[in-house]
Amino acid sequence: MTFTDRVTIALEVWSDGTKMEGGNEAFNALIASTPYAGGAIGSILLGRAQRQMRERAADVFEAFKERIEQMEKGKLDINFFEGDEFLTLFTLTLEQIQTTHDKAKLKMLATGLANSANSKFALEARKELFLRIIRDLAPQDVETLKGMVIAIGPGIPALSGDHLVTLQRLTAHGLVSEDLQAEKLPTVNMAQPGSQHILKNAFERAPSKYYLISDFGRDFLRFFEAETS
């Protein structure tokens, strides 16, 4: 089976999976009767979704083509495209096209799929894992991880709210590691009144939690970089 045959089959299976039959009258009536959102949902289920998926797919594979053309021919494993691993990665990419509209993330998917055939990643056994992880990350998660590469200092402090949720999600995937750091003890003159109290307070303070990008996180980002030679 040639690469073209494999891609054709994958596209047909994916296309069939995005279709919804319009014959279920009770279901259609339920959607149509939904206040405010019924028309939009009906449009998505009965046509607009397929059109948008095709548009996203076109963007992804245009970026994929551009990335392939950027690579030096000697570093491109042509035979990789005929193997089962590429078909798996290709199918995962198609699945994710349905669940993200973020342009930057779609570009990363295309780049990662193309980089999977780069000889630099020939021994990389985590290609499928990388694609599965990026599926679970929101665009702000990816931007936070990229920002940690160039961060200066001990790491990013554990803040609250959405930022903390992002850091914890990155940690759960092993892209980021947690580190506890105690405050530096103050220099005091023990002969001065109150010096023992100052030191006691310093010792009693809980260490602060910081987040650092892991080696795995760096490898993850490198897999999706268009600049990889």
What pLDDT was estimated at residue 56?
85
Residue 203: per-residue pLDDT: 56
> Cβ distance 187 to 215 under 8 Å?
no
Q: Please state whether beta strands 176-181 and 208-213 pair in parallel, antiparallel, or not at all (unpaired).
A: antiparallel
Question: Which pLDDT value is given to residue 198?
Answer: 60
Per-residue pLDDT, 109: 93
At residue 138, the pLDDT reads 92
Query: Looking at residue 129, what is its pLDDT?
Result: 96
Q: What is the mean pLDDT, run by run of 10 residues, along the chain of 229 residues? A: 56 55 61 67 64 82 88 85 90 88 91 92 93 93 89 61 86 89 62 64 66 93 80
Is 214:175 a contact under the CB 8 Å cutoff?
A: yes
Please classify residue 218 by burial: count the beta carbons closer than 10 Å to its beta carbon, then call 0-12 exposed, 13-18 middle and 19+ buried.
middle
Query: Token digits for 195?
Result: 């010096």
Predicted structure pTM score: 0.70
Instruction: Give the model's pLDDT for residue 205.
Output: 62
CA distance 52 to 43: 11
